[in-house]
């Protein structure tokens, strides 16, 4: 129950903050650029890799619970085809066997974008 409340607060806060300071033209340009290659502009830092190792790696290294493995382009392709908005919604709220935020309660939306790009491209494999 507590995780659900924290996830809801994080999601609501992230959603509200994403709209701050962006004009409509800036937002649509970003969406157009990412439509062909979701998360292509996301980068992971060394600190991000450490955070990823404590959270996402628990399932995505071995494919626990049906999680797509890092670098498995066949498993990631249908997920990426849904687009960034859907994949981020599933990541933030949880989907199937994936818990909300992938147990990374201190992750920001940009962290999650970087983690998804990192795993989908096999950058760390």
- Residue 22 counted as domain residue: yes
- 107 C-beta neighbours (distance < 10 Å), count: 23
Within a domain: residue 29?
yes
Structure tokens at 113: 């974008």
pLDDT score at 13: 43
| 92 domain residue, yes or no | yes
Give the domain extent around 6. Answer: 2-34+44-121
The rounded distance, in Å, linking the Cα atoms of 81 and 35 is: 9
Alpha-carbon distance 15 to 46, whole Å? 26
The number of folded domains in the chain is 1
Give the mean model confidence (pLDDT) for residues 12-26. 39
In a domain, 39, yes or no: no
- pLDDT tens sequence across 29-81: 334 344 568 899 999 999 999 999 999 999 999 999 999 999 999 999 999 99
The answer to whether residue 95 sits within a structural domain is yes
Average pLDDT of the residues of the chain? 79
pLDDT at 123 (0 to 100): 74
- Distances 121 to 3, 10, 80, 101, 124 between C-alpha atoms, Å: 29, 26, 11, 20, 8
Quick one: pLDDT band at residue 27, thresholds 50, 70, 90?
very low
Q: Does 74 map to a domain?
A: yes
Residue with tokens 């249908």: 78
CA distance 40 to 4: 29
Residue 19, pLDDT > 70, answer no
Q: Is residue 112 part of a domain?
A: yes
Residue 96 belongs to a domain: yes
Q: How many CB atoms lie within 10 A of CB 57?
A: 17
Output the domain CATH number for residue 63: 1.10.760.10
């Amino acid at each position: 129950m507590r995780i659900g409340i924290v996830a809801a607060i994080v999601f609501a806060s992230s959603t509200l903050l994403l709209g701050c300071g962006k004009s409509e033209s800036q937002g649509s340009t970003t969406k157009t650029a990412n439509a062909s290659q979701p998360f292509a502009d996301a980068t992971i830092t060394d600190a991000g890799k450490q955070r990823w190792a404590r959270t996402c790696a628990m399932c995505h290294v071995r494919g626990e619970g049906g999680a797509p493995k890092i670098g498995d382009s066949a498993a990631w392709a249908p997920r990426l085809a849904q687009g960034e908005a859907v994949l981020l919604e599933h990541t933030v709220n949880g989907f199937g066997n994936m818990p909300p935020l992938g147990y990374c309660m201190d992750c920001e939306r940009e962290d999650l974008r970087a983690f998804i790009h990192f795993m989908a491209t096999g950058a760390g494999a």
